[in-house]
Amino acid sequence: MRSLITALAVILCVGQVLSAPNSLVLSTVPTPPLPPPPPPPNQPNNVHPIILQDPGFSRPAELTDGLDANKIPAQPMIYKFNINSTISNRFAKTLVTSKVRNPETTSKEVTFTVVLPEKAFISEFVMEIDGKSYTAYVKEKEEAKNIYDKAVSSGMSAAHVAVSARDSNRFTVSINIEAEKKATFLLTYEELLERRNNNYELVLNIHPGQIVKDMTIDIFINESRPLKFVRTPSMRSGNEIGKNNEKLEPQAEIEVINSTSASVRFEPNEEQQRGFAKELGVKENEGISGQFVLQYDVERGEGGEVLLQDGYFVHFFAPDYLEPLPKHVVFVLDTSGSMYGNKIKQLREAMVSILDELNEADSFHIVEFNTNVYVWDVEKQERVLATIDNEKEPFESLLKKEYPLALQATKENIKKGKEVIEKLVDDSLTSILSSLETALHLVNLDLRKGKAEGTFKQPIIVFLTDGEATVGISNSEEITKIVTNINTQKDQVPIFSLSFGDGADKSFLRKLSLKNNGFSRHIYEAADAALQLQEFYKQISSPLLSNVNFKYTSNVEAVTKKVFPIYFGGCELVLAGRTTDSELKFITTGSNLNGTTTVPSVVETPVSSLERLWAYLTIKQKLEERELAENKTQLTKEALDLALKYSFVTDVSSLVVVKPNDTSAVNTEDASNSNQYGGGGGAFGPLSIHSAGMPGLHYPVPLLYRPATSYDAFSASAFDSDQDSDMLNLRISDDDDDIRIGGYYQPTTNIIMIDPTDPPTPKPPLHIRLPWLQSVLNRNNTLTVKGALLDLGEYASAIASQNCTGTPNNASENGLCTLLSKCPQVFHFLTDFQTYEKFSCQVNNQYAGVCCPQVVTRPHVPVPAGPIP
């Protein structure tokens, strides 16, 4: 039997089929040390796609009848699990490393699963199998999609993947590990941390599915501004709003490095893992199933902070000294029949709390809609039917009737508003367009009244629905177009949309809000739905500025969004661009209680390169514009070019995972992968066992993490029976939507020898500890630094050769030129090649070195979960 060398390219659609115009495609993408060869042309026998199908596909009974559960072998063992995150300039780079061993005498299938934040881009994936390292790389989505389409037309088998944590994506790879062998998985993703409720938050998912002997989480923060506080709140399940729970306090070690830097370590032993598992509601022997959370903030001046370096700039804008603007909030609430039961109860509960958040200077309207649309007269405790004869031209009929004016948010009126909320009951169908048109009419009435009185209140529409339009115009594209046209011509009111439960059209609501100066959020149908609604409202409860405009007078280009309708307190506006000037001149204006005002910002030097942060923000914006554009060609090209250049997984690029098969010991009759429990994240879960004694059968191992809905996943063989091949599945799914994916295998020459061993484990190779090395290393393990070709010298015995000035953790500190591999204390600071090159030196005129501190300056002083002194 012959060996095959194969590779897998995967296309993933979050929420929709690949061809859907607004689908999100995720795939992994590091730039490999050696460029991989293109897929072999016209060789269909070398292509082995794997496709996922709709839910409902069940495992044939003949595969499971008569099994003795007591004879199911033990699962592969995770002997090391580590998450390492480096945060600089609010940009986080996270490396998840999992090492697994198969202790049995038969081959077993293991599934590596990582749950990552919704807005993160995967940027690197490496597998080390049987001493060899295989690095993934990015391809254009359409190229892989062609393989997918061919596979579908040829009738290839399929499987469905269930969901993971809220507001997350899930990355999954399945491989067979031979008897008594090991495998290591390394996944890197990058994200800009958003500022909400006055802090930045890094969320790390941990779902190994078992107790892990060696588990660590290491986080390093290095900011340009002094740290205000660093804390690690109670661990979360990932499927509910986080609450303070003494038993879930991680007791992480927080250490100060200096005023702008800190490190955090979470190292739970086996007993602690069992305790956390119990509190998180899973079996103790399944280990931690939840989220480790880091929160921090930085000291800031009156206005913003501009970081400028090497032709790139990033502008952070978060003034917190301004008085909140008075606001006019129109609550547009779905009370159709589908809101029956718990939903309407949770809506009432949330609205009672939200009304309490209104300031006395604010005013509000309550609009409910089902088959009809009603505007509540809160003072009279009665509702007024809104009459719209023509949804395409609504105001002619709306103007014929008088509607209640906005009510001031006094204590007495808030009490009356709560009484109205308690009267809401579910009934009938869903009239979406008329409800939004009515809300826009109410805003217009209030603005005209304010203009006559010389006052202004910031209008905000909060629109909540759990379904799709079933009355009047029901096409979501047409609804969006009509509402946007009306809003653009009139008052440009921000519309914030809430999709409640699985039946809501999330895509429609997202587009509606994006086109109307707002954003959307999904409210999960769970016990904490009321809390979710309250948390959402907190984000928009305090508008400080309207019409925020960033104007740059320097030579700038490729600048992201520069005009924002509202800035909310506790949040942050972020934009980035390129400039050819050494200095950046700009002016930031906005409107507050006193009219138009200018807000200052300070230009500072960043602590690391800004290029990838600029690329991340630019790609995000182009993808957002592409989602809304009718002609997507140019935006697709621009986003794709950047995604390929910077190795980011996006919805226009897809991942190629390389895994050569150099053994014939693995059964190839069946390539099924059981995922009955839907997944977890952070390590190996689900784990299913491929028994050599019963080829083609996989026993599901129960997972510690179960989503609200889960499906059975199964895929039949994608290979011919006479071919020897290792099976490798790769999937990425979004938080709560069904997906389909395709893949292909292709040769590679990118092989690096690595030999993971039992604990105590030797230090990983340098290219793993410093992942950016993989994109600059030459074939012979050399790299070009400041024009000189230097050996990496990873195992050389050269010693420090000369004094140097300027170490990575202190630019004014004296150090010794030391082999890069011998100075691990600065690795946290070396976030990219450009940063390394600034502090690089030559050891013995032959090896790559770094200016290493003569004495480690990191003080080991525990810091409480509060302000940093």
Buried b (16+ CB within 10 A) or exposed e, 673-709: bbbbbbbbbbbbbbbbbbbbebeebbbbbebbbbbee
Tokens coding 470: 């079933």
Q: Identify the band that residue 763 occupies on the pLDDT scale cut at 50, 70 and 90.
A: low
List helix spans (H) across 77-181: 141-153
Tell me which residue has tokens 């016990």: 527
Mean pLDDT of the chain: 77
Q: Identify the band that residue 725 occupies on the pLDDT scale cut at 50, 70 and 90.
A: very low
Q: What is the pLDDT of residues 234-264, one digit of tens each?
A: 998 877 766 678 889 999 999 989 999 999 9
Residue 45 confidence (pLDDT): 35
Q: List Cβ neighbours of 11 (8 Å cut-off, separation of 6 or more).
A: 18, 25, 27, 141, 144, 145, 148, 654, 741, 742, 743
Q: Is a pLDDT exceeding 60 seen at residue 88?
A: yes
Q: Is a pLDDT exceeding 90 seen at residue 526?
A: no
Residue 244 confidence (pLDDT): 73
Please tell me what DSSP assigns to residue 22: T
Q: Where is pLDDT greater, at 737 or 707? A: 737
DSSP 674-723: --TT----BEE-S-EEE-TTSTT-EEEPPPS---SS---------S-TT-
Q: What is the C-alpha to C-alpha distance for residues 125 and 771, in angstroms, rounded to an integer?
A: 10
Mean pLDDT of 626-636: 92
Please tell me what DSSP assigns to residue 209: S
Q: What is the C-alpha to C-alpha distance for residues 28 and 653, in angstroms, rounded to an integer?
A: 9
Q: Is a pLDDT exceeding 50 seen at residue 825?
A: yes
Q: What is the pLDDT of residues 296-324, one digit of tens each?
A: 999 988 778 999 999 999 999 999 888 99
What is the amino acid identity at position 700? Answer: P
- SS3 state of residue 431: coil
Tokens coding 152: 């579908």
Mean pLDDT of 473-489: 93
Please tell me what DSSP assigns to residue 102: -
Residue ranges of domains in the chain: 5-62+73-218+272-284+654-742, 327-541, 776-853
Mean pLDDT of 416-436: 95
Q: What is the pLDDT of residues 15-40, one digit of tens each?
A: 222 233 332 223 333 333 333 434 43
Tokens coding 231: 């804390």
% of the chain residues with pLDDT over 70: 73
Residue 671 confidence (pLDDT): 24
Q: Where is pLDDT greater, at 758 or 93? A: 93
Q: Is a pLDDT exceeding 80 seen at residue 218?
A: yes
Residue 766 confidence (pLDDT): 85
Considering the domain 327-541, what is its CATH architecture?
3-Layer(aba) Sandwich (3.40)
Q: Is a pLDDT exceeding 90 seen at residue 161?
A: no
Q: What is the C-alpha to C-alpha distance for residues 488 and 616, in angstroms, rounded to an integer?
A: 29
First-to-last alpha carbon distance for the chain, in angstroms, is 67
Q: Is a pLDDT exceeding 60 seen at residue 660?
A: no
Please tell me what DSSP assigns to residue 3: -
Q: Is a pLDDT exceeding 90 seen at residue 614?
A: yes
Q: What is the pLDDT of residues 671-724, one digit of tens each?
A: 223 333 333 334 443 333 233 332 222 222 222 222 222 222 222 222 222 333
Q: Is a pLDDT exceeding 70 seen at residue 801?
A: no
Q: Is a pLDDT exceeding 90 seen at residue 610?
A: yes
Residue 26 confidence (pLDDT): 30
List helix spans (H) across 490-610: 506-514, 529-540
Residue 170 confidence (pLDDT): 83
